[in-house]
Structure 1
Amino acid sequence: MVRVVPLTDEEKMSIVSGLRSSVPATKLVTLRKLQEIAEVRPEAILYLDTYDKVTLNEIITLLNQIIEYDPDEILRREAMITLEKVKKALGTKFSTFVPLCNSCKSPIDLGWTYCTNCGAEIKNMTFEEEVERCPNCNNYISDSWKYCAHCGAKLKEEEEEVLRCPNCKRPVQPEWIVCPYCGYRLKRKP
């Protein structure tokens, strides 16, 4: 059994701010740090993919920006190497499509109703790649969703029985007392 040591909030902020830095040395150190994490602790990258897609998408977007726009050849090369190592850590889960807000170009999550950066409504946006919409509420949905995050409509048949909140229909853990998504009390305190 692999013990997952997720990235701390400080590590995540350090990586994002390092990739955004205008100082080439800071970017280089951050790229190498991210490479090391992807090689030594790939489960931390997978954990990001599962529990913090926004940060992962932001990191991938910043890596792509460095690859495309940075004038420093060394940084572009290191960013390409880093992106490949992140892809390898993510394995088959890696997706190059990162939805960006049409207004401010910041990474967004399809489960959101509004962009957290500028407040633009996501339902009215268009994306470079074809993104499915929920047949019930017409909001954008992700391929991996079994239920719509917006209206709760069933999108796919489930392979196995998953415990769900009776209120919002999202998956919950058996030990949870309160649903973290909608606040519904799942069971009484022991």
Structure 2
Amino acid sequence: MSSAFPYHLFETPLGWIGIAWSERGLSRVQLPERDRAATERRLVATLPRAQAAHPAEQSAEQLPAAIAEAVAAIRRYAAGETVDFTDIAVDLGDADDFRLAIYDAARGLGFGETVTYGELAARAGHAGLARETGQALGQNPVPIVVPCHRILAAGGKIGGFSAPGGSVTKERLLNLEGVQVGPPPSAQGSFAF
């Protein structure tokens, strides 16, 4: 029987964020929902073995040092500070080699640096697999730490985003980093000039 993943929720300028971890590292980052309770429900739904680390007080002081550092870094990021997450250990669970390569390439992107799905695929050693790269990023369990929001559609368009709020959330994260991008694809369709 597998052990539980402890989790912790904390407030940021972006809203309530939830994280879960194992002894190997951060295993989930749940981006904000409409409130704390909704964020917690989504986190627990995506990680059935999640168990509140400190259910009564949600105290950051009682978190393992590496997790407390991750919380502090995410809070600074949400406040608009330039933060490098590459030193935060992650536990990507059962991610296959392709996804691991894509996530590793994404982690190599600096604050405010963007690439297209096709460019990221090539950096990861999988040229020509832009669509598959997008699918892998849609399964990213630790957004922000693995900065999938920095990957754009061809032509510099914002593209999709599987986190709560979709492309609006992606644009908000990019704006924190000083990045302005083109609009998301129109549901009615549009012409590119």
Q: The TM-score by the shorter chain falls in which range?
A: under 0.3
| Greater relative contact order (CA < 8 Å, ≥ 6 in sequence) | 2
Q: TM-score of the superposition, structure 2-length normalised? A: 0.27
**Which of structures 1 and 2 has the bigger CA Rg?**
1
- More strand per residue: 2
- More helix per residue: 1
Q: TM-score of the superposition, structure 1-length normalised? A: 0.27
